[in-house]
Chain A
Amino acid sequence: MGKLLAVILFLILGPVLGGLLAGIDRKLSARMQGRKGPPLLQPFYDLFKLFAKQVVVVNHVQDFLVGGFLIFVIFTGCLFFSGGDLLLVFFALTLAGIFFMMSACSANSPYSSMGAQRELLQMMAYEPMVLLVGIGFYMSTGSFAVSDIIKSGTSNILYLPGFFIGFVFILAIKLRKSPFDLSTSHHAHQEMVKGLTTEISGNILALVELSHWYENVFLLGVIGLFIINSTWWSAIIAVIVCMAVYFLEIFADMVFPRVKWEFMLKATWLVTLGTGVLNMIILSAIR
């Protein structure tokens, strides 16, 4: 019963929270740049506008693939918030990402194709760290199930600080934030137009936006999982930490210029080795 409730809550609250986060993001970014910024609810207005637009596609498989992206992102989130197996959650997320990338590949356009290749590279860069997070929780709690992990006596971040830092690092890639917004970004970039989403428009683009909102809520959920434990007040701290991390990502987005893919791949793998892997080895030694 609790599981069903979690799923329903995520289905309804996911896009609301995700949209609000996007609104906060735009507002904060604007303030950091000395602008006033759009109203907080602007992302919702944008979304409704997009849904009302005519369907323009470059082929007939695109909508199917974007649909796959949306469904599997939602699936990932539902599985996570209903206490499912963490590795399975991450596998579902990868599947969702592949659907999204395929929609860009199918367009046969230079810009979306370039975006697709970069997106794939980003996936390769962050995938080890994502899997390691699952392993880290397993090593510290003895279970992959989110429902077991949240019952631990102390916050897992105490055992998994390296995993946490590593995950925050790759979160910049997942949230499509500078310095790692190579495949597509919130701002149009000259050399690749809109990258992955160049050939997606109208209500299909709205579906992509919606998926991103769900995805972002899920990703912050993983951050929260590091903090949450069997006490009730840990949930409050988890929310605060999530907000702090989100702020940090926006801040980094403003401060750092975009890097080249070579740098991103090397940096991400090195950080993964230096944080997650190191933490894992220490954990296995003291276990």
Chain B
Amino acid sequence: MEIITFLIAFPFLAALVLVFMRKQSTIRSILVFFSCAVLIAAVLYFAVTGLILNQTQTFLTETHNLDLVMMAAEVGLMALIVSYAFRYRKYYVAVLSVVQTGLMIWLEFSGEHEVTAAPHILSDKLTIMMCLMIGIIGSLICVYAVGYMKEYHEHHTEYKDRSARFFALLFVFLGAMFGLVLSNNLTWMYFFWEITSLCSFLLIGYTKTGEAINNAFRALWMNLLGGLGFAIAIVFCVLKYGVGDLRGFVALGSGSAGILIPLALLAFAGLTKSAQLPFSGWLLGAMVAPTPTSALLHSATMVKAGVFLLIRLSPMFHGNLVGTMVTTIGGFTFLMTSMLAISQSDSKKVLAYSTISNLGLITACAGVGMHEAVWAGVLLMLFHAVSKSLMFLSVGAVENSLGSRNIEDMHGLIVKLPGLAFVMITGIAGMFLAPFGMLISKWAALKAFVDSNSMLLVIFLVFGSATTLFYWTKWLGKLLAVIHNSARLNSKVGKSQWISLLFQAFLMIALCILFPVVSTNMVEPFLSEMFHEQLPAIISQGNMNIMLMMLFAIVILPIAVRFLTFGRKQKIVLSYMGGANTGDDRNFTNSLGETTPMYLANWYMTDYFGEKKLLRPSILTATAVILVLMGIVIGGAL
């Protein structure tokens, strides 16, 4: 129990200290590094003890005083949101916040409700996985942020240096995430849920430009809307079923029509948090913030909170309309956002769309509500967290060195910045290529969708895989172009950034090799407990060996090719350009004898996949699906 208290409380304490260290100083950097080291050590300790104990632990059944403290904090949060809403004249945000906090206060003080006593804190294998993800990746992002923010403010002198608050917020975010994944009590979970919403609002609005503030408020209202759904669901559960905890709620099962109402509302909250269509806008807007924010929101925290809730609820989704809603939205989001990613050249935007797309797949897996589908979902979540954080941080580093984050400008990165290019290639390969991580989960997901006879999902998945292949591969191609006579650029990547990047690249590779261990020791025990059934291995040992062979083949390939061509003279020539290559690989002589620069562009096909063409119809369709299905669920129960 002590370690759990420590995990939740320590980040908040670190934040409290950091917020007062206004000046950029070595002491502050050291403090951040130290806090990160402590956090990583703490989650490792927590994970190891948890795995040795090998059972679900529960704590704190009676917490009246703590509840009151939390209620006070919640009112504080509301006051903060309302003050921001009034300062920027976004009154609807204030209304959303007041209504849901009001609901919660009313529930707390409107007399004694018959609620089954249940532990407030629960720790099982899923919690351990989530904590490892949040603790390790989150901390590495904070380590990266130290060097990055220094660079950032040297580049962008127009923004006021509020980095003290920035670091404090990062830690608050981590603390809230720990709280969220460890809570079993719905009210507690809701409390931490609201903190993450507020934190992301403040982090997105960091630069306080007009765009940043607009996007921050978009993130806030969408997440508050989800929070409202969460709050109503809690009130409903307590009043109608006398249940105030997540495990108790899932244990009720989805047999009666009435239970589908809170289930639909909770699922709705999960969908908003994980930025599924039609709520994708807030995550896309989040990229105005400094890179560590995006990395944190996209990988270890925030969006993962949404899918965490959906995974917890997944046994209830099987074979009802709420499940249909979740799978349809998830699958649809997976396909549409991967198409939208094709038309983007801004690397951060591609990453944002790819996050939404991958989360869509995880959501769809959770929505199927079957053992093997959720297996795929959990593994996807882990792989995605590592590779996406790696991608965001390397894009940030490239942006600081090149002065641009456009994928077109990354042409020939392998020659200009080989180190960063290799890190990026690792990240991209991890995102979609066989035999690396994400693909294994996609494979299992495909199998599960066929087994559960969800043909619509199969269609979304096969077409979505094709479009995913397209946008990642063309990015990969840009990185690999070899331009002769290119000088190596001076990479402006600090030591702390390199440590963070390399460690994550290492994690990525380790996870690819060790995922069977993770699967048998953590994912499968968790699923057997949740679904009360044992399943044979989802990917057979034989196929696992074949994939290891493929991985091995890729590793030894460069050596083998060198060996084969050893001793043979290779003649290096310039590439053919139609006109004569002027010798620098950048210009050619045209038919009039003049030197013309060459520019090779990727395909974006905006007429087919552009935002103008697809975004609005996608949002409208998704809104219609949610409205209709929620309408039927709620109407059917009432």
Contacts and interface: CB of A to CB of B under 8 A. Distances in A.
Given A117-B602, A124-B466, A88 B477 contact: no
B577 A110 contact: yes
A111 to B, nearest CB: 7
Nearest to B443: A87
A225 interface: no
A139 B450 CA distance: 8
Nearest to B602: A117
23 contacts: A56-B573, A57-B572, A58-B574, A60-B570, A61-B480, A64-B557, A64-B558, A67-B560, A75-B550, A91-B443, A94-B434, A105-B478, A105-B481, A106-B480, A109-B577, A110-B600, A112-B575, A120-B603, A131-B446, A199-B575, A277-B459, A284-B455, A287-B453
Interface centre among A79, A107, A113 (most CB of B within 10 A): A113
B109 interface: no
B458 interface: yes
Given A63-B565, A71-B553, A138-B447, 8 more contacts: A56-B573, A91-B435, A102-B476, A102-B477, A113-B481, A120-B477, A198-B576, A280-B455
Interface string A92-123: 10110010011001111111110011001101
A11 interface: no
Nearest to B453: A284
A54 interface: yes
Contacts of B573: 56-58
Interface in A28-59: 54-59
A116 B603 CA distance: 10
B575 A120 contact: no
A131 B465 contact: yes
A250 interface: no
A42 B480 CA distance: 35
Interface in A270-287: 277, 280-281, 284, 287
Interface in B480-498: 480-484
B450 A135 contact: yes
Interface stretch (B26-34, B37-45, B296-304, B467-475): B467-475
A108 B470 contact: no
B434 to A, nearest CB: 4
Contacts of B467: 124
Contacts of B433: 95, 98
A127 B481 contact: no
Contacts of B608: 262, 265
A72 B551 CA distance: 11
B455 A101 contact: no
B477 A101 contact: yes
Given A57-B572, A108-B575, A102 B469 contact: no
Q: How large is the interface on A (under 10, 10 to 19, 20 to 34, 35 or more residues)?
A: 35 or more
A107 B575 contact: yes
A59 B572 contact: yes
B69 interface: no
Contacts of A269: 463
Nearest to B464: A128
B473 A59 contact: no
Given A113-B600, A127-B462, A277-B459, A92 B474 contact: no
A116 B473 CA distance: 10
A87 B412 contact: no
Contact of A102 (B480, B546, B564, B577): B480
Contacts of B560: 67
Interface string A135-168: 1001100001000000000000000000000000
B110 interface: no
A110 B470 contact: no
Interface in B569-600: 569-578, 585, 598, 600
A85 interface: yes
B229 to A, nearest CB: 33
A110 B412 CA distance: 14
A108 B483 contact: yes
B156 interface: no
Q: Most B CB atoms within 10 A — which of A91, A116, A281?
A: A91
A248 to B, nearest CB: 25
Nearest to B557: A68
B160 interface: no
A193 interface: yes
A179 interface: no
Nearest to A273: B459
Given A79-B546, A101-B477, A135-B458, A109 B465 contact: no
B561 interface: yes
Nearest to B474: A120
B532 interface: no
Given A117-B602, A127-B462, A280-B455, A85 B469 contact: no
A264 to B, nearest CB: 12
Contacts of B466: 123-125, 127-128
A63 B600 contact: no
B575 to A, nearest CB: 4
B473 A120 contact: yes
B602 A55 contact: no
Contacts of A68: 554, 557
B439 interface: yes
B470 A67 contact: no
Interface of A: 54-61, 63-65, 67-68, 71-72, 75, 79, 84-85, 87-88, 91-92, 94-95, 98, 101-102, 105-113, 116-117, 120-121, 123-125, 127-128, 131-132, 135, 138-139, 144, 193, 198-199, 262, 265, 269, 277, 280-281, 284, 287
A92 B469 CA distance: 13
Nearest to A89: B546
B484 A59 contact: yes
B321 interface: no
B50 to A, nearest CB: 34
Given A54-B571, A199-B576, A64 B482 contact: no
A284 B455 CA distance: 8
Contact of A128 (B414, B462, B603): B462
Contacts of B568: 55
B578 A110 contact: yes
Nearest to B439: A91
Contacts of B473: 98, 101, 120, 123
B522 interface: no
A105 B480 contact: yes
A88 B572 contact: no
Nearest to A116: B477
Contacts of B447: 87, 138, 144
Which 10 residue pairs are nearest across A and B when measured between Cβ atoms? A105-B477, A109-B575, A127-B466, A91-B434, A59-B482, A128-B462, A67-B561, A124-B470, A131-B462, A55-B570
B547 interface: yes
A64 B564 CA distance: 10
Given A64-B561, A75-B553, A121-B470, A58 B598 contact: no
Residue from A57, A71, A109, A284 having most chain B Cβ neighbours under 10 A: A109
B427 to A, nearest CB: 15
B543 interface: yes
Given A67-B560, A68-B554, A71-B557, A281 B462 contact: no
A88 B462 contact: no
B581 to A, nearest CB: 9
Contacts of A98: 433, 473, 476
Interface in B441-455: 443, 446-447, 450, 453, 455
A105 B483 CA distance: 11
Q: Which of A84, A94, A139 has the most CB of B within 10 A?
A: A94
Contacts of B450: 135, 138-139
Nearest to A82: B546
Given A55-B569, A64-B561, A94 B477 contact: no
Contacts of A87: 443, 446-447
